[in-house]
Amino acid sequence: MEDLNIKIKEIFRNFSNDPGNLIPILQKVQKELGYISLPAIEEISCFLKLTESEIYGVASFYSQFRFNPRGRHSITVCLGTACHVRGGSILMEAFERDLEIKTGECTLDKRFDLDGVACLGCCALAPVVKIDNDIYGNMSVIKLKETLEPYE
Amino acid sequence: MKVTIDNQEIYVKEGITILDAAQEHNIYIPHLCSHLELSPYGGCRLCIIEVEGMKGYPTACTTKVEDKMVIRTHTKTLQQMRREILQLILSEHPSACLICDEQEECSSFQQTIRKVGATTGCRWCPKDGDCELQKVVDYLEIDKITFPVYYRQLPIENHEPFYDRDYNLCIYCARCVRICEEHRKSSVISLRQRGRFSTIGPAFNMSHIDAGCEFCGACVSVCPTGALSEKGRKWGGIPDSYNASICPLCDLNCDIQVLMKKGKVIGTLPPGDPHQSGGELCVKGRFCLTHIINSPDRLKEPEYLFDEGIGIVSWDEAVKQAGKMLKDVNGKRVAVYLSPNLTLEEILAAKLFFKDIINTSNITSSILNSNLISYISLSEESISLKEIEKSDCIISVFLNGNYNYAPLTLSIKQKAEKGTPYFQIGWIKDTTSRYAYQQIIPFPGREKTFFNKIAQSIENADNSSPEIKELVKKIKISSNPIFILGPDIMGLTEADGILKIIKKIITLTGSKIFLTNPYSNLIGLLSLIDTKSNEEINELISQKKIDLLYIIGDNPFQKRPPVNSIICQSPFPAPDYLNADLALPSAMWGEISGSFADIKGNIKKFKAVTNPPGKAIQNNEIFDRINKEIGKKDIKFTYKGISKLIPKKLEMRFPFVKRKPLKAKISPPNTSFPLLLIQEKNPHIFYNISLSNNIRDMREIVTEDAIIMNPTDALKMEIQNGDSIFVKSDIYEKIYPIIVRKIIPQNFLLLITSSRTFDFNPNPCPVHIRRNNV
């Protein structure tokens, strides 16, 4: 808690309290802390004199901002056209069911976080799942468990 | 400026939008997101028009008129495009009813008498018949929706007080978001996410209470659909009439309109077009009045305390008993308590009745204690609400604007937004805090010293804290500084001393002052009658010099005082512990015509809109009947007779008070008592009841006898919302439930009490707390 306050105060030092600085501040907070938390929004709210709802309204509009902490490993499921045709959304559902989280969230043990992406650029391998920096092509629901196993 | 709309030449002002120009000349252009009190938005796209020389189809609400413009609003193409757009809107809005083949026959089949429940007609939208979307559908004659229908399956949000939210009916016109931001300056809700995932609400699914919602109902008023609906009249339908009145729940006496249906009050709204006015009311004027006047707890018949217990009696019997009690007693041994919610006419009738007929001068009110008198005597320099507009520096002192004084907090916020420095002195974070140039929290337990330092700093610049220096600097450079005082100051043990210093500061700086008080007609009470202070009457009672107590709409005691008999006259039952010998039901606001006085002594009138419940009658009529029974003088107490006697301009006279030296020692928190407990009397009182106690929804936002704690403190001590805790000062301890809310800073606790006296002394009081594990 105190740690967060110090980090955020440090970020504010580079900005004036003009509401126009909201997005650069949010970007910086995300870069430093990994995600935008409620206490962080409260601090920004005091600094820029905007309400928490206004800030959340702006932040949630952009897909670049996330509101949940990252896990030790990040799972990215491709939901692009090719992957969609070959069952990307079914894979996503399977991940959600298996990890008991929703898109954008992080598991309770902080092991995985789950996100969707529009295209990873390797449509020949569809459906594609990316875990950290490893690409898994031709994925299927059956392969799901063994794929996750090496990541602790 | 000349423009042509649909071949009709019209002259309009410069700078207005095409939509406004058309509306001024009764040309209807369909629209859903545009609103009188809001800036143009261009969200619904229904007001598209054709303008000669302009490319495409601009929206009328965002395009300004230009000289010699030729505008067409109803061409075939436009209507066809509007139909397509409206169908897109309707594809996400449950609309079976709007395009149903049986629509016209529906109302005649809706009510059927059968032995089993059967659905005849779908009646599930609370805005049915009053919905702007319905009107536009009728206008564009939509009979089928060609797009696939998509139901959003959002849960209905009905767990918060005063209004329900069903965002499945929402059309995302963002009127609610905009009125909250632009008009009310609160920004409690915003559009979250984007595209088809958009929802409306506070950050992170926080509750509206935590997000700082004032429950002013502006969003409910402007919602064009049934997405937002008032809990109180959700299925009430369309009102029969709208009657102008004023709100009796604080001294600002805001203008309101009362919605009536079949002779009953079903709602209250700010003045103006009911669909177009966000207004400036607070939660009390917008939602609570209806609950109070229709309260099932109203006293409806006279009650008499027989030897066997309380029984209902007829008015004749009740008047006979009252007459007997009053005849038997010496006038000097009668004490009278009047509520500060009584109208001028009622107060004057009471004065005539008790001074001339009963011959008593022991008239007081439960609130007339020495602190209130020092507070209200500052009103000589007081200004009216409108004059705040002229100020160039605003300082609020212990003003708790949460759920209170909406027009005042609004004008503070408007001024501060335009750049007027606004200083907030006090502990509580309210709706104005965000706009404060600085919120100054006096050093805990050293409030008097704090104000003393300000005074010293004004007299000769010295080495006070930087906050005070900044404050004094800003006051000195401004030409018209205003101090706004909140009634919380009266609850402080050192109130008298602090108020004296504030008076000194005001004289030193030439500032103006604005006093708020939660009583609708305290000024009228002090102007019409020579009152005595509450302390003086209490002393008489304890010396057994009083035989009969006559209490009119007031609630001065915690237990039955040592007197022979008590008569209570109020719209609400007397509390059980009082054991009143006679309880007479009287009419209240809405059921009587009358007038209130404001801080400058100006009189504001209002009219009756409905009849009192049961056998309740007006206070004036009760005096009349009892007077006839006693048969002393031939005076008429009726409204007509009395209203002529009220002076045009009122001036206050204050009761004499003897000041006792302070017994309690004020001390700052220390290691064994590290937290500072602030006690505040519940300001939401009407006659002898508290709104928090009487209205369930009000209880959720202003909870009596519970400790409010900062979330950071709660986290540190591992205390959760709803836990019960021991609060201990050096001389007293008590168990309270906890509410975790951000309105109070760290290391402070706030207690809103239902009683007249505080449990912990002094106020504020250093305490320590621990979890109650039993």
This model of the complex carries an ipTM of 0.88
Mutate to test the interface with A, among B199, B204, B439, B715 (most CBs of A within 10 A): B204
- Which candidate, B227, B206, B230, places its Cα nearest to that of B216? B230
Q: Is B206 on the interface with A (CB under 8 A)?
A: yes
Range(s) of the domain holding residue A110: 73-148
Domain match, A132 and A96 both:
yes
Residue B193 has pLDDT above 70, yes or no: yes
Question: Which of B487, B515, B543 finishes a domain?
Answer: B515
Average pLDDT over residues B187-213: 91
Q: Which residues pair with B242 in a beta bridge?
A: B259
Residue B109 confidence class, pLDDT cut points 50, 70, 90: low
Q: From A48, which residue of chain B is nearest by alpha-carbon distance?
A: B434
Structural domain contains residue A68 = no
Question: Which of A61, A84, A100 finishes a domain?
Answer: A61
Q: Do B194 and A60 touch (CB under 8 A)?
A: yes
Residue B99 has pLDDT above 80, yes or no: no
Residue B715 has pLDDT above 60, yes or no: yes
Residue A73 has pLDDT above 90, yes or no: yes
Residues B321 and B629: their CA atoms lie apart, in Å, by: 10
Instruction: Indicate the number of domains in chain A.
Output: 2
Structural domain contains residue A33 = yes
Q: How far is A59 from chain B (nearest CA, A)?
A: 8
Residue A75 has pLDDT above 70, yes or no: yes
Instruction: Indicate the number of domains in chain B.
Output: 5
Mutate to test the interface with A, among B190, B210, B219 (most CBs of A within 10 A): B190
Q: What is the pTM of this model?
A: 0.90
In this structure, of B181-185, B331-335, B654-658, the range with the lowest mean pLDDT score is B654-658
CB atoms within 10 A of CB B608: 17
Domain match, A98 and A34 both:
no
Domain match, A107 and A47 both:
no
Q: Do B202 and A54 touch (CB under 8 A)?
A: no
Residue B122 has pLDDT above 70, yes or no: no
Q: Which residues of B touch A53 (CB under 8 A)?
A: 187-190, 201-203, 211
Domain match, B277 and B355 both:
no
Domain match, A105 and A125 both:
yes
Structural domain contains residue A38 = yes
Q: Do B211 and A41 touch (CB under 8 A)?
A: no
Domain match, B395 and B493 both:
yes
The full DSSP string for B319-374 is HHHHHHHHHHS-GGGEEEEE-TTS-HHHHHHHHIIIIIIS----EE-TT--HHHHH
Mutate to test the interface with B, among A36, A51, A105 (most CBs of B within 10 A): A51
Nearest to A57 among B192, B435, B712 (CB): B192
pLDDT given at position B107: 67
For chain A, the average pLDDT equals 91
Q: Do B202 and A53 touch (CB under 8 A)?
A: yes
Q: Which residues of A touch B190 (CB under 8 A)?
A: 51, 53-54, 56-57
Q: From B435, which residue of chain A is nearest by alpha-carbon distance?
A: A49
Structural domain contains residue B158 = no
Structural domain contains residue B209 = yes
Q: Tokens representing B635?
A: 């005076």
Residue B242 confidence class, pLDDT cut points 50, 70, 90: very high
Average pLDDT over residues B191-208: 91
pLDDT given at position B116: 58
Range(s) of the domain holding residue B558: 303-367+522-643
Residue B452 has pLDDT above 70, yes or no: yes
In this structure, of B119-123, B197-201, B239-243, B442-446, the range with the lowest mean pLDDT score is B119-123
- Assign residue A56 the CATH number of its domain: 1.10.10
Average pLDDT over residues B243-248: 94
Domain match, B537 and B553 both:
yes
Residue B599 has pLDDT above 60, yes or no: yes
- Assign residue B607 the CATH number of its domain: 3.40.50.740
Residues A102-134 as b or e (16 or more Cβ within 10 Å = b)? eeebbbeeeebbbbbbeebeebebbbbbbbeee
Domain match, B77 and B54 both:
yes
| Contact predicate B271/B279, CB 8 Å | yes
pLDDT in tens, B460-506: 877 778 888 899 999 999 999 999 999 989 988 888 899 999 999 99
Domain match, A143 and A87 both:
yes
Domain match, A86 and A143 both:
yes
- Sequence letter at residue B600: K
Q: Phi and psi (nearest 5°) for B82?
A: -60, -40
- Assign residue B418 the CATH number of its domain: 3.40.228.10
For chain B, the average pLDDT equals 90
* Residues belonging to chain A with any Cβ–Cβ distance to chain B shorter than 8 Å: 1, 38, 41, 45, 49-57, 60-61, 67
Residue B114 confidence class, pLDDT cut points 50, 70, 90: low
Residue B562 has pLDDT above 60, yes or no: yes
Q: Which residues of A touch B191 (CB under 8 A)?
A: 57, 61
Nearest to A61 among B188, B194, B201 (CB): B194
Residue B110 has pLDDT above 70, yes or no: no
Domain match, B483 and B386 both:
yes
pLDDT given at position B87: 93
Domain match, A54 and A89 both:
no
pLDDT given at position B493: 87
- Assign residue A108 the CATH number of its domain: 3.40.30.10
Q: From A46, which residue of chain B is nearest by alpha-carbon distance?
A: B434
